[in-house]
Structure 1
Amino acid sequence: MKFARYSNQDEVMQGLIVPVYVGGLNWILLGNQYWHNGWVFLIATVLTFVTALLAWFVNNAVGLYLNRRFPDIDQTLVRLSWLLGWCVLAGWSCCTFLYGCYFLLNSPSLPMQPGRLPLVLLFNLVVVLMVIIFYEGIRAFERWERTLRKTEELKKANLQSQFDSLRSQINPHFLFNSLNTLSSLIEEDPEQAEQFVEEMASVYRYLLRSNESQLATLGNELTFAQSYFHLLRTRYGANIHLEQAVDAHFHDHLLPPLTLQLLLENAVKHNVILPEQPLHISIRTEADNRLVVRNNLQRKNTRIISNQVGLTNIATQYRLLGGGDIRVDDDDNFFTVTLPLIRKA
């Protein structure tokens, strides 16, 4: 039978506290006879040890329930009040039970100290307070460690995402294509060339500012996606299409920054884009707080090396932020990524 563990240090705490509790409680109840009579010592120790250990496991289960019932930091006082009340009640019940057992077994070899029951209850209260304080200290430290570890993992995922985005955009190939497009536009359509420069500046400005926050609003991500798509549309012309069906109600919802850019880039990178094979990308929201990014599949014949770092980073950031899981569907006709939108706190 597997008992609930309240902390990773349960065994250590039990090994340190239960023997002290058993010895102290029996000494108060039975006096020095507890230490001097082997039979008394054996019977009392076994009975008290089993009772204390069972009470410990029950208290653990209650403590875990209260943690689920009152999980927030601002509910700590309420949770600890309930936990203290339960543990004191359970401890006093155990003390009364042991007192009753000793009373029934009362004999010259197992002498009672009737006037010491209030002292036993006080001793139990002190032990309960010490255990709760120790446990809460351990759990606070464990929470701090987990938070620190998640923060470091999230920083790493964010940095990797930013690096991948910048690497894919600020590289000789991208700059060559962008400058070549700009050069052509300057002669053919100066007004469009000016707009291209503005959109390109907007893209880089957003990329460089994306590390300022772990989350971005959907509205800002859509604005950035439009600037990024303008560069793609200028390059590929009418061979690439972007359709948006996003309810304005979701514009304040959150998602990791650069998510849409990574998905647009992924679609362009892996698919043929030709007049007879245009690429269609859609971004839409669903009623259950989800964002769906979808493109038709027309895979390139040449082998594209991909380790799905972009999708992996998006999934990692969602996991660390507690935003849920992303879903990727590939049915050979469409490639679809479904993302949960995070509500503002």
Structure 2
Amino acid sequence: MKHTFLRIRISEIGALLGTYLVLSLIYHITLYINRTGYNNPDDILLHPTFWFDDAGLQYSLMFIGTIVVWFFVFRVFQSWVFWKRLLLHFIGLPFFILFSWQLYYLVCEALGMGHLRGSGQVWDIYIPTLIYLVQFGLIHAYEYYIINQRKLQYEIELKNTALKSELSAIKAQLNPHFLYNVFNTINASVPKEMEETREMIAELSDLFRYQLKASREDLVTLKEELEFVQKYLKLEQKRFEDRLQIEIDIPDKLLNRKIPPMILQPLVENAVKHGISPLVKGGKIDINVAEKDHKLVFEICDTGVGVADKNTVFNKGVGLSNTQKRLQKMYHSSLKLSDNVPSGLRIQFEL
């Protein structure tokens, strides 16, 4: 934390110093007005500077003592529960009194300055005690105020974040919904003789309809996710023609298992875009799902160019990095990348 001393903000120390200057001034004025009231030599050791210099010294010592107690109670042991920190004042109060009373007397005597004696010494115990109780009561109230303000600020930021997330979710739903309707409109305007184009538009519309569903639901069946991936690959095959081959091996008994939506498509898209697309001859993509120890084991393999540095692959694209984050947060799982044989990349993960 910047601009602090003993982890206490300079502005707070300045406010405390100002308070002690005012208290010292009041004490000086009080002593001056009542200076004729001390006629017993046992109550006071007279000295020409007593009414001014020694009182300032005592309040300076109380100021230093306050900083020390503040540091320990409100900084070193800040994590303690409130009642335990209150018990620390049973140590802090005697320290504060002795520091501003006995040490003050020792310094006064060493410098030849006067101080209260006899029954008058009770004021050098009573006044520091009163100041200690009042000032640390106010400091605890100040701390509670700061904590409450931070809590309110945090709640406001949390509400703003939640609102932004809600608006983003609404936008994520509106965009594919809007495009889905537009594609249907375009499809209706395409002449019947362009049947292949109409089919491609219909399949693209289905992709956006699934994306709309994925934005609303946490889980879908493996069958639904697979149908979405197949539609996507079918459109890619229109572009690659015979350069892209697909093979899918998933037992029928697993098709009703629930998985997160859009978990396979980014990985398949990565295989097409970064694996197969750079090769003139094209390649093949294999999608396999099996069950092991009551978990689904996914494997996406391509015969593309492969990845030399697998440690940095998550920093290059959004699809792999986002999928990795989803797996880690939802299933404490992760993507495992390895070389495919004879060429390309193999991606595996478990749910």
Give the TM-score range, shorter chain.
0.5 to 0.7
Q: Call closer, same or farther: CA 1:114–1:42 in 2, change over 3 Å.
A: closer
Q: State the alpha-carbon separation in 2 of the partners of residues 286 and 24 from structure 1.
A: 74
Q: Does 1:223 align with 2:224?
A: no
Residue 139 to residue 230, structure 1, CA distance change in 2 (3 Å): same
Q: Is the Cα contact below 8 Å between 1:283 and 1:294 reproduced in 2?
A: no
What is the Cα deviation at residue 130 of structure 1?
A: 1.0
Please state how far the C-alpha of 1:263 moved relative to its aligned partner.
Answer: 3.6
Cα distance in 2, alignment partners of residues 41 and 222 from structure 1: 75
Between the aligned partners of 2:163 and 2:290, the Cα distance in structure 1 is 30
Counterpart Cα distance in 2 of 1:118 and 1:103? 15
The Cα offsets for residues 113-141 of structure 1, whole Å up to 9 and x where unpaired, read as 42222343233112111111112211221
Instruction: Tell me the residue number matched to 1:61.
Output: 75
Q: Which has the larger radius of gyration?
A: 2
Structure 2 residues not aligned, in runs of 5+: 36-48, 188-195, 235-245, 277-281, 307-315, 340-344
Would the aligned equivalents of 1:51 and 1:94 in 2 still touch at CA under 8 Å? yes
Q: 1:232 to 1:283 in 2, by over 3 A?
A: farther
Taking the aligned partners of 2:151 and 2:333, their CA distance within structure 1 comes to 26
Distance 2:297 2:163 in 1: 25
| Paired position in structure 2 for 1:69 | none
Distance 1:295 1:124, change over 3 A: farther
Residue number in structure 2 paired with 1:232: 229
For 2:288 and 2:13, the matched residues in 1 are separated by: 63
- For residues 139-162 of structure 1, the C-alpha deviation after alignment (integer angstroms, 9 at most, x for no partner) is 221232234324434543564466
Normalized against structure 1, the TM-score is what?
0.55
Aligned residues: 276
1:126 to 125, 134, 159: 134
Please list, as runs of the form range in 1=range in 2, the aligned pairs for 1:159-174 lying within 5 A after superposition: 159-160=167-168, 163=171, 167=175, 171=179
Contact 2:300 2:348 in 1 (8 A): yes
The verdict on how the C-alpha distance between 1:128 and 1:338 changes in structure 2, with shifts beyond 3 A counting, is farther
Hey, what does 2:143 align to over in structure 1?
Answer: 135
**Greater RCO, 1 or 2 (C-alpha within 8 Å, sep 6+):** 1
Work out the CA distance in 2 between the residues paired with 1:167 and 1:300.
Answer: 34
Alignment-derived partner of residue 180 in structure 1: 199
Give unpaired runs (5+ residues) of structure 1.
Answer: 67-78, 185-196, 211-220, 252-258, 340-345
Cα pair distance change 1:143/1:235, threshold 3 Å = same
